[in-house]
Structure 1
Amino acid sequence: MDHEFWHARWARQEIGFHEGTVNRYLHDHWSELVRHGNETVLVPLCGKARDMWWLHDHGHPVMGVELSPIACKDFFEEAEARAHVTPGQPFTRYRHDDLELWCGDFFQLVPEDVRHVRLVYDRAALIALPPKLRKEYAVHLSAILPDSAAMLLITLDYDNPDLKAPPFNVRDDEVDELFGADFRVEHVLTNTLAHDHPFAKRRGLTGATESVFRLTRRTS
C-alpha cells in the first residue's frame, strides 16, 4: 500500500471517495447478512465513513482499519464523540464505546487481531487498490478472517482506461477470481449510475455501475 499517496490525499482533503452519508446498499442489504445482530464488524480501509456509526447504532461492535490519523481523528470529531487513544505499533487504537478505529496498515493485521470478527463491510477498500494489491488484499483477508466470517462487498465498474487513480474499476468476474476459492460469491445487485451522479459527473463517465455482493466462507 502506498502510504505517502494516501497520507497526502488526506492532508489535502482530496477525499471525493468519502460519501458523507450512510451508503444506501448498506442500508438495504445489511440485514440479509446478519444472523444475530450483535456480530463484530470489520471495516477495512474505512476512512471516516459514517457507515460505521450506522453499524454501531444497529448493535454491532465495529473495528475499522484506516491508515490516516487525520481520518481517524475527523471521524470522532465530526460526530462530537470523544475517543480514547492508545498509541502502539503497528496500530494506534481510537476507541469510543465498542467502536474502534485501528490506525495503521491493514496488511499488518494478524488472525489474532480479528478473531472476534464475524462480518466484514467493504464499500471502499477493494476499489481503492490497484490490481496487484487487490489480489494481495483478498489473500490477506481470507488468511486472517475466522472461518465463520461473511462479507458485504460493494464494487464500482466503468470503462475508462485513462483513469489511473482510485476508485478503480473492478469487474464482476474479478470478484469471483479474487474471492471464489475461499468464499461463495453471490451477486446481489447491479445498479447503473446516473449521469449526474457526483462520481460519474466528476470523472466524465457513462455506463458506470455499482455492484453488491454477499460473500460467505466455503466449508471444507
Structure 2
Amino acid sequence: MEPQFWHDRWTKNEIGFHKSDANPLLVKYFTELALPKGSLVFVPLCGKTLDISWLLSNGYRVAGAELSSNAIEQLFAELGVKPTITRNGEIDRYHANDIDIFVGDIFDVTRTMLGPVDAIYDRAALVALPENMRSRYTSHLTAITDHAPQLLVCYQYDQRAAEGPPFSISHEEVRRHYGERYHLTLLTSADVSGGLKGKCSATEHVWLLRRG
C-alpha cells in the first residue's frame, strides 16, 4: 500500500475510519496499562483521532506518528492549539504542550526522536497495513519504543468478504508478531455492530501486551 493512498484519502476527506468520539474500548480498557498521570503514550498512524484529546484531558502526554500533514493540521486546529513545526531528517515534528506528532513515514521515526515511551495505543496502525508490511511495522514499533507495553485493538473477519483497510488480524497473527516479545492477554472480544462496512460480520479484539 503506497503512501499516496492515505494522502488521497485525507485530501478527498474519505475518512470513514475517523470516529467522532473517543473509542469506547480505549475509555474502558486504558486503565489496564496502569500508567501514572504524565506518562507518554505513543499513538502510531494517529490521524486526527479524538482518542488523543481524551488522553490529554486525562493527564497523559501524547506522541503520535502520521503520514498526512493535512490530518495533523486538522488535529491541532480541533485541539485549539498552534504547534511549533521543526524538521528532523524526513520527519516534521509538530510540537505543543504535552503533545508531539511526527509527520512522515513511520519507518523514518527513530527512538531518539520519540524519547522514552511509557505505553503504545494502537487502534488504527496494525489494521491499516497490508500483510506484507505488518512484520516490518511491528518490529520497528517495538524497537523505537523499547518494547513499551501496548493496548492493541484489531478486527477479525473473512478477508475474502471485504477489502481492507482495516485488515483482518487473527489471534495467530498477533502471537506471531508479538508473542516472543510480550506476554499477551486478550482483554475482550465483541461483535462489530452492523458488521464491517456493512459487508460482513466482524469481531473487534482488545489485546494487552506486556513485556515478556
- TM-score, normalised by the number of residues in structure 2: 0.94
**Paired amino acid for 2:203:** T
In the alignment, the residues of structure 1 paired with residue 21 and residue 70 of structure 2 have an alpha-carbon distance, to the nearest angstrom, of 19
The corresponding residue for 2:143 is: 143
Separation (CA, whole Å) in 2 of partners of 1:49 and 1:17: 10
Aligned-residue RMSD, C-alpha: 1.5
- Residue 29 of structure 2 corresponds to which residue in structure 1? 29
2:172 counterpart residue number: 173
Q: Amino acid of the residue matched to residue 30 of structure 2?
A: W
SS at match of 2:118: strand
Corresponding residue for residue 42 of structure 1: 42
For residues 142-171 of structure 1, the C-alpha deviation after alignment (integer angstroms, 9 at most, x for no partner) is 222225x20000001111414333111111
Identity value in percent: 35
Aligned to 2:53: 53
- Conservation of the 8 A alpha-carbon contact between 2:111 and 2:143: yes
Structure 1: distance between partners of 2:35 and 2:55:
14
How far apart, CA to CA, are the structure 2 residues paired with 1:88 and 1:116? 18
The size of the alignment, in residue pairs, is 212
Aligned partner of residue 100 in structure 2, secondary structure: strand
How far apart, CA to CA, are the structure 1 residues paired with 2:64 and 2:20?
Answer: 16
Q: Distance in 1 between matches of 2:182 and 2:82?
A: 37
3-state SS of the aligned residue for 1:132?
helix
Deviations 1:35-72 (A, max 9, x none): 32221111000000010111111111110100000001
The answer (yes or no) to whether the contact 1:114–1:146 under 8 Å persists in 2 is no
Letter of the 2:24 partner, please give it: R
5 Å-filtered alignment, 1:63-74, equals 63-74=63-74
Gaps in structure 2 of 5+ consecutive residues: none
Runs of 4+ in 1 over 3 A off after TM superposition: none
Which range moved further: 175-184 or 76-85? 76-85
Q: Distance in 2 between matches of 1:5 and 1:107?
A: 17
Match runs of 1:109-188 below 5 Å: 109-147=109-147, 149-188=148-187
Give, as a single letter, the amino acid of the residue that structure 2 aligns with 1:32: E
| Equivalent of residue 205 in structure 1, options 200, 203, 210 | 200
Per-residue Cα deviation, 1:75-123 (whole angstroms, up to 9, x for no partner): 0112322222223422111122111111011111222223311100000
Q: 2 CA distance for matches of 1:87 and 1:114?
A: 14
